[in-house]
Amino acid sequence: MSNSKPEFIGIFGGTFDPVHKGHTEIIKNLFELIPLDKVIVIPNGIPPHRQASVSSEERLKMVSSAFKSSEKVVIDNREIKKKDPSYAISTLREIIEENPEHSLVWIMGSDAFAEIDSWYQWEDFIKMINIIVMVRPNHEIPIESEAYKLLQKSHTIDKDSLSSGKEKILLLKIRPIEISSTDIRNKIYKGSDVSEFLLEEVNELINKGNLYQ
């Protein structure tokens, strides 16, 4: 047990295929809105729900370079190292075990949250952690979804309450970033310039490696 004071830690997973300014801006915005001590960013290894377009190692390199100047962001490569599909619940169990004295909150976008019932062992997952759902404008949670029912039961508007207990869900309005990894991949494939959407280091890695061509 360490004697350092308990920290409030966010966990943010994603395919990051590729990581773009939208991702880095979201994290910046999160630190402005929620009193987090740090955020653990976890690139998926083999995402259960989608096929990544480049290797896990390439994505890890891009994510590491995108966040390298941010002292409060820790890049976690545990899912990249696994040979099996990465399930959020397994990752969460490990992180809880490694951080017994710290408070944890899981961070996800509203599009992922809307499909929470497609996650492996999702009902157990939501009982283990508080969740921040980042809401983009015009992206409503469908009323007939399990996610909507969950909100009816567990929604909170108290940001400070997230650093204790479990099973609370906060909807957080973030600055909208009109950009997606899919759009960027398509633009690169067509030969368009995507430098305005990417951090310079990430753009260099993509060009050097001829990624997404």
Question: The domain containing residue 26 runs over which residues?
Answer: 8-178
* Helix segments in 117-168, DSSP class H: 122-127, 146-154
Query: Based on the structure, what is the number of domains in the chain?
Result: 1
User: Do the domain assignments include residue 208?
Assistant: no
DSSP state of 105: E
User: Do the domain assignments include residue 184?
Assistant: no
Tens of pLDDT, residues 63-120: 999 999 999 999 999 999 988 888 999 999 999 999 999 999 999 999 899 999 999 9
DSSP state of 179: -
Q: Please tell me the distance from the alpha carbon of residue 86 to that of residue 47, in angstroms, as a whole number.
A: 6
User: Do the domain assignments include residue 123?
Assistant: yes
Query: What is the phi/psi pair of residue 8, to 5°?
Result: -110, 110
User: Do the domain assignments include residue 118?
Assistant: yes
Tens of pLDDT, residues 124-178: 999 999 999 999 777 789 999 999 999 999 999 999 999 999 999 999 998 877 8
CATH number at residue 142: 3.40.50.620
User: Do the domain assignments include residue 60?
Assistant: yes
User: Do the domain assignments include residue 87?
Assistant: yes
User: Do the domain assignments include residue 73?
Assistant: yes
CB atoms near residue 60 (< 10 Å): 20
Tens of pLDDT, residues 36-45: 999 999 998 8
Tokens of 148: 């909507």
User: Do the domain assignments include residue 209?
Assistant: no
